[in-house]
Every structure is written in C-alpha cells, then in structure tokens.
Structure 1
C-alpha cells in the first residue's frame, strides 16, 4: 500500500515512515515543497497521515487544505495526528487541534484520530533534567517507536474507521525518569520563548498531562 505522510520529514514523520516500511508499505514523506501541488503529490496513495508543523499558527486551515487535497486525489483513508487532551482552553495550540479534529470527523472520508502524549524523546536524560514545570507532575509519555507502530496499524489494518485513540507508552513523572537515569531533576523558570509554550508549561505545572496507556497496548497487541 502507498501511504503519504504529510509532515514526513520531521521526527514524527520519520517514525511513521519507518514503521510503515517495516510493515512493507510504500511510505511517501511530503513536506512544504510538495504543498503547491498537494493533490498531485498524493496521487496513487490509498491513505494519508496528517501531521501539522509544530505550533502551526492556524492548524485547522492546514488540516482543511490537506483534507481537500486528499479528497481531490481520491485518498481513501486519513489519519490525523492530534494531541492528548485537545480541548483544553488554557492551551491555545491544543484548541487548534480540537477544531482540526472536528474537520476530520466531518470530512466525509474514512478517518482515525490519534491523540499522543508528549514524547519520551523530548527529555534529555544524559545529565541534570531542568524543565519549566513541576517535576512531580503526572504525564502519559509516548515513545516515538510506539507512535510509529500505532500509526502504521491504523493506516494499514481494518477496524479503525471512526476511532479516536489516546496514546502513551507509560505514565510517570520527570522526577521518576530522572531518578531511573541516575540524574537530578529540577523545575526552572519558563524561558518565555513562545506564548503558547508558556501557556502549556503553566498548565503542566498545575495539572501535568495524564494519558491512558491501555489504547496503545491494545493497538500493539
């Protein structure tokens, strides 16, 4: 099967493409250079995995354009890469994904939505871990390899149309991960690099981002 991966050149796209290749599928990574003729780039693909650029200023518009191109190219199935807890008013970029999910559900296509937790690989455990939120906050964290395997499953196997899956490999805290690695963990001040990230860190500080692990275990057998 030929599968397009929109956003296929980032770390998420690489993980999905690698898992598709492991399953014998023909993964087609697409990026900005393909956007001017996206229907043409999608031609011949039976399914598409849609990953928006990180902190995209208008993710619903991006997803709407991707869906329109997929319909024009007669793509049969679309899988949208959303986020765990998309409807959180305190996090603007999560709300953008919630609106994009609505577009996917009303697209008229066969669809599946994945709601991944934060990636384990986002934490550097080679030395002291410093994060701008409470190190004891609860998280459901996802390994990139598991994300790729789950994406390949819902793209290639039957039975996932109309489904929405939260994805986490394990539930833990930054403090616990650091202790396992034998390094220290501490909360530091938010660097204020982007207002959406600052809002996210403030939310994490109060609530973390819990995500269930059962859907991933069920998907991966």
Structure 2
C-alpha cells in the first residue's frame, strides 16, 4: 500500500486529507509537533508528503524549509504544499509567508505541486446569527474541506500534477448570500483585534474579499463547475 505523510495531519485540514487518502486505499501518516524533532525518521518509507503549516505560523518559510530538508534526507521525492489563494498579497503578512514557502517548494528539487485553497466554508458558523469583522457583501471563493481533501488526494496519487499550482474553490458567494441561504442574520461588527495579522486580513477582506474561481477544482474532481 502506498504511504503519504501528512505534516500537520491532526488539524482539520490534515484530517480531511487523511480521510480522502484512505478512501483511495492510501495509507496516510498524520504527523504533528511531537514528530518534528526526528522528522526524517517519521516520514521514512513514504512516497509523498502533504505539508501544512500551523495557522498564523510566525515563520512559515523556516517551517517549510525544515520540512523540505527532512523529506530530502528521508528520500521522499514528492511534496504537495498547502498554500493559500492569492499568496502574494502585501497587505496580508501571513499570505506573504505562504508566498515565500511556495518559492522554497519550487526550488526544492522535489517533484512538487502547490494547492492554493480559498476560505473554508466550515470557518463560518451558519447555525445562528453571524457576526462578521468585515463586509458580508464582498465576493469569496469558498472551499469545502471535503473537496480540499479530495483534491489533495488526486494530486498526491495521480500522475500529471508535478509542477502545477492550483487555486481551489467549491463555490463563489458572499457571506451575506450564504447567510440568506441558511436563514440566519449577519451583521458587520468591529475587528476584535486578537492578532495583527488577522486584523490585516479582515481589513483586506472588507475592501476586496478573496475571489477564487471554481473551474480548477471542478476539473480535478471531474465535476461541473459551480
């Protein structure tokens, strides 16, 4: 059975990737912080790796560089990097960290693919009134976590994706439109100021949203674009 290491495999993104790999009868090896001190041993015997950095990592390029070095030492020749839609966005520092990570992946010498997901649908709690620190009327390309997992499993297990960069979204909508569909009210509230990078992201979203097209995901999953 093929084996794929999933760095960051215990979070919601990693669990979605591991589940989709299991559906393809691929052994997923979820790895976390406890595995980091001896990462080359943890990834040994894996044909490929999916690399997810922790949210708002203070130095994502260093994290990615360490992961790539471990993969190289262990002889893992295939890597898929979990980036973000619109990585080079100077107004959002954590996006710039992803852009630098992408550059490292492209120059790693490994066979690489980069996935650039839109905002997760699951990040919105549409079971009740929704308070939003940015406009509910700006466009987003939203991605369902299960679709992210399926797309990751495709590029990890099928030929033809080395050297490719894919933006991923399941559907295009505003948060206001999603709230109407769910039958819940939505209002814009002040930024809570919990993290400067989040504040920068909310300000960018307020002006621009985060548009992402749906055709790439539809093609990867062999379905009609929304």
Q: TM-score, normalised on structure 2?
A: 0.97
Q: Deviations over 1:191-212 (max 9, x none)?
A: 0000000000000000000001
Question: Which residue in 2 is equivalent to 1:212?
Answer: 213
What's the CA shift for 1:111?
Answer: 0.1
Q: Are positions 1:114 and 2:79 aligned together?
A: no
What is the rounded CA distance, in whole Å, between the counterparts of 2:204 and 2:92 in structure 1? 7
Question: Which residue in 2 is equivalent to 1:179?
Answer: 180
Q: Are positions 1:23 and 2:4 aligned together?
A: no
Q: Are positions 1:71 and 2:75 aligned together?
A: no
What is the rounded CA distance, in whole Å, between the counterparts of 1:219 and 1:129 in structure 2? 32
Q: Are positions 1:102 and 2:95 aligned together?
A: no
Query: SS of the residue aligned with 2:42?
Result: helix
Question: Which residue in 2 is equivalent to 1:189?
Answer: 190
What is the rounded CA distance, in whole Å, between the counterparts of 2:130 and 2:164 in structure 1? 36
Q: TM-score, normalised on structure 1?
A: 1.00
**Paired residues, what number?**
221
Query: SS of the residue aligned with 2:119?
Result: coil
What is the rounded CA distance, in whole Å, between the counterparts of 2:163 and 2:40 in structure 1? 23
What is the rounded CA distance, in whole Å, between the counterparts of 2:29 and 2:120 in structure 1? 23
What is the rounded CA distance, in whole Å, between the counterparts of 2:110 and 2:127 in structure 1? 44
After TM superposition, the runs of 4+ consecutive aligned structure 1 residues lying more than 2 A away are none
Structure 1: stretches of 5+ with no match in the other structure: none
What is the rounded CA distance, in whole Å, between the counterparts of 2:93 and 2:50 in structure 1? 23
Query: SS of the residue aligned with 1:21?
Result: helix
Question: Which residue in 2 is equivalent to 1:44?
Answer: 45
Query: SS of the residue aligned with 2:38?
Result: helix
Structure 2: stretches of 5+ with no match in the other structure: none
What's the CA shift for 1:76?
Answer: 1.5
What is the rounded CA distance, in whole Å, between the counterparts of 1:99 and 1:76 in structure 2? 21
Q: Considering only aligned residues, what root-mean-square deviation do their CA atoms show, in Å?
A: 0.3
What's the CA shift for 1:130?
Answer: 1.0
Question: Which residue in 1 is equivalent to 2:171?
Answer: 170
Q: Are positions 1:125 and 2:152 aligned together?
A: no
Q: Deviations over 1:97-137 (max 9, x none)?
A: 00000000000000000000010000000011111000001
